[in-house]
Amino acid sequence: MNIHTHTKKEFIKLIMNNQRIIHKITFMYTDSPFDREDLFQEICLQLWKSYAGFREESKFSTWMYRVALNTAVSNLRKKRHRPVYEPLNDDTVQVKSESTDEKEKVKRLFEAVSKLGRIDKAIILLWFEKKSYLEIASITGISKSNVSVKIVRIKRKLEEMLSDKPAQESATRAFLEASVKKRVPTLHK
């Protein structure tokens, strides 16, 4: 087996083991299944093109987030139009609990996150993944202290967005506070 074949197999294995990262980013930065599939392929292509330059100075997943987020943001710039938000379906959000009420709260939370700006969306997505402030700073290219400030502001903004629906205000606020403590369940394709 030549070195290129070994590298290709190693790359495919790494992508397969970390593909949920790409799925989460494509979900947060696109508005249709077709666009998600297209962005997924574009991210994989950019990861492959950049793979030879991966120097293992950081974890593979950190490097992967950086390449994937940069690709997603570049993709948005190319489109030059504001995305149309579609409602999430039950296949998009996986919740450990079978509670319909909890599923609805998670759905509303991710709908609110999808309306955030590019950088805020990236930061909160990484925070949901339980990345440290230092890792988030490394991936996004902002300082660790700026990450801290932004996370506080993003959480406040999400609280405001979620409390706009008065019927569920207290329940939603309690859910957001609980999510902040244990962070949010994972998304998958």
Residues of the chain where predicted confidence (pLDDT) is lower than 70: 1-6, 80-99, 164-189
For residue 102, the model assigns a pLDDT of: 78
Residues 6+ apart with CB under 8 A from 57: none
Q: What angle do CA 85, 88, 91 make, to 5 degrees?
A: 145
Condensed to tens digits (0 to 9), the pLDDT of residues 64-88 reads: 998 998 898 888 777 755 445 555 5
Q: What is the CATH topology of the domain spanning 100-182?
A: Arc Repressor Mutant, subunit A (1.10.10)
Q: Domain residues of the chain, as ranges?
A: 3-79, 100-182
**155: which 2 tokens?**
């959480």
Q: Residue 70 to residues 58, 118, 164: CA-CA distances in angstroms?
A: 17, 10, 32
Alpha helices in 52-168 (DSSP H): 60-79, 100-114, 118-128, 133-140, 144-162
First-to-final CA distance of the chain:
33
Closest of 15, 62, 17, 13 to residue 43, by C-alpha: 15
For residue 146, the model assigns a pLDDT of: 92
For residue 100, the model assigns a pLDDT of: 73
pTM of the full structure: 0.54
> How many of the other CB atoms lie within 10 Å of CB of 91?
8
Q: Does the domain made of 3-79 have the CATH classification 1.10.1740.10?
A: yes
For residue 1, the model assigns a pLDDT of: 46
